Structure 1
């Protein structure tokens, strides 16, 4: 019988601009903040917490505001990027530290990159899983996404209207999550030539494109229960509100237009992850946009849920990268600190 992974760690609630942020920490040493994506939770890092602790780090996996046991502000605008950055800073301070290394997956990768960009005096190195760093710039995001679908609708646009995606997901949270995870996993995603689950037929639902059949190999039924129980309790609005702030983020981040993230960095993507293929140009631009890049890896046979699909390989890459940081991070921090800092 499959079981949820047991994680030996300390659960904490710490103050933040959101109200409170829930996190699970394990280990002692330099602080490594782990930021999950959609639709996940701190539990997405269940394989990394013990590995990082064993390597000599204090790993802290948080529930992003709107998720799990963290606070869920009511206003949609409360989920803009700069608010999430300040949550991360508050977590570092609440844990008694001045600086941290930050690692994110999916939306968490974007949150991690922007945290390093906006608050370089706090975040001395950044690891990105699945979603490459792409500096702010170009047209308003909603305009870009509206053009992507053609006769169909891109999933990001589908998520924009408050209540619309909730009406699809919340009557069957567990079933929807199972289909969404399977649609983006290397071993269960639709075969080439079948309708793309990132797009919605006009008047249809996102889940109409999800594959039937077994769960992905990385996800036990009990693991799925952990995720489903959290979203059944909280609903999906807090998580979906991240998508509803992309135009606000574009406006808020104007002072950092086209700015590189200069701290030591790592990128890990999956060959079968649409985030890697669609944003191949962003990866090609890393010499300019991530000048502190230590290494970049694209994993064969891997989909979107990188640290869960390939935990041992990701743990090896993360701990190897972290071990390379002490002298790099110190010198980069001096360059990244704002004038007069």
Structure 2
């Protein structure tokens, strides 16, 4: 019998909940984030920042946080703007990659006890889904603060207007996390998106990937902002394009920090083929695969953690912590 993988619970005493209002944010955004310290007696090796995607929360990294703290890392995991207990600003500019990168850097600086403008200690960066997109941009905008980066790879208002109330939100999340209708009709798919007419809570089964307690936690967190905030991430293409033009103009289009890409072979949303040319855009890239769907963080937690831990072993032993911006 396989050894159960350690994971956080929604009320886990190993994490502390914090909030921080970003001093430099024009939106006055207050972030909620988790901090988990290494177990007593474990030599400290630095800081790790983990970034979640959609439809997820900081809690989505529950299988990875204990593994990383066991490697001596202090782990910081925020809820992104629009998600969970972080603010959901009305201005779409608050959800751009560059804005969020700068916000997250401010959070790390705060956690490390650095004043605004002071250099941070270099840190490990991980992302999944939208968090992966943010992580790669982070590596382009601020490579000097990173020890390494690893990643696992609905426009309009109809969804946010149709999916209102805890039970409907919970049903949507169940469907996106693998729950099925009793008549087997597909509520959500990559090709057709979300079928709002099929979101009938009484007909959608539980997710096979989360316990009932975990699913209830997600529903309770999502009901705080509804679906509007999370869906803002799908409406920022023009803002991101305009903000990232300087990167192209300056030729800063290559990730130069050590990088790991873990590809899920059964991910319909982000198939492995999408990473085929990453070697041309990353100067120090390691690729690994896991036999999983989009939710590799949970579905193949042991294999995913193994790839991340092996990648980090050399980084944590041999790389200096001094940052340069």
Question: Same fold by TM (over 0.5)?
Answer: yes
Q: TM-score, normalised by structure 1?
A: 0.77
2:291 maps to 1:285: no
In the superposition, the TM-score normalised over structure 2's length comes to 0.80
Question: Residue 129 in 1 paired to residue 157 in 2?
Answer: no
Instruction: Classify the secondary structure of the residue corresponding to 1:121.
Output: helix
Q: CA deviation at 1:68?
A: 1.3
- What residue is the counterpart of 2:29 in the other structure? 19
Partner of residue 67, structure 1: 83
Q: 1:100 matched to which residue of 2?
A: 123
Once residues 285 and 206 of structure 1 are traced to their aligned partners in structure 2, the CA distance between those partners, rounded to angstroms, is: 36
One of 136, 148, 164 as aligned partner of 1:170? 164
Partner of 2:139: 116
User: Where does 1:165-314 land on structure 2 (aligned, <5 Å)?
Assistant: 165-171=159-165, 172-182=168-178, 197-200=189-192, 205=195, 208=198, 214-257=205-248, 259-277=253-271, 280=273, 282-293=274-285, 295-300=286-291, 302-314=292-304
| Shift >4 Å, 4+ stretches | 3-6, 206-210, 326-331
Output the CA distance in 1 between the equivalents of 2:301 and 2:319. 25
Please point out which of 69, 74, 93 is paired with 1:77: 93
- Deviation, 1:215, is 3.2
SS in 2 for 1:182: coil
| Alignment coverage as a number of residue pairs | 291
8 Å Cα contact 1:27/1:50 also seen in 2? no
Q: CA deviation at 1:200?
A: 3.0
> Distance in 2 between the 1:79 and 1:222 partners?
29
* Distance change (3 Å), C-alpha of 1:207 and 1:329: farther
Task: Output the CA distance in 1 between the equivalents of 2:155 and 2:150.
Answer: 28
In the alignment, which residue of structure 2 is the partner of 1:320?
310
Aligned residue in 1 for 2:5: none
> Shift in Å at residue 95 of structure 1?
0.8
- Contiguous gaps of at least 5 residues in structure 2: 1-7, 39-43, 113-119
Contact 2:149 2:257 survives alignment (8 Å): yes
Quote the residue 2:4 is aligned against. Answer: none
Q: CA distance change for structure 1 residues 207 and 330 in 2, over 3 Å: closer, same or farther? A: farther
Is the alpha carbon distance of 1:195 and 1:47 closer, same or farther for their aligned partners in structure 2, counting shifts above 3 Å?
A: closer
Structure 2 CA distance for aligned equivalents of residues 322 and 102 of structure 1: 11
1:34 counterpart residue number: 50
Measured in 1, the distance between the counterparts of 2:269 and 2:121 equals: 32
Equivalent residues of 2:171, 2:204 under 8 A apart: no
Structure 1 residues 20, 195: closer, same or farther in 2, change over 3 A?
Answer: closer
Distance 1:224 1:207, change over 3 A: farther
- Cα distance between partner residues in 2 of 1:324 and 1:216: 37
SS of the residue aligned with 2:87? coil
CA displacement 1:131-169 (0-9 Å, x = unmatched): xxxxxxxxxxxxxxxxxxxxxxxxxxxx222x3220232
More helix by share: 1
Per the alignment, residue 150 of structure 1 pairs with: none
Structure 1 residue 38 displacement after superposition: 0.5
| Equivalent position SS for 2:35 | strand
Give the CA RMSD over aligned residues: 3.0
Contact conserved, 1:266 with 1:296, CA < 8 A, in 2?
A: yes
Give 5+ residue unaligned stretches, structure 1: 131-158
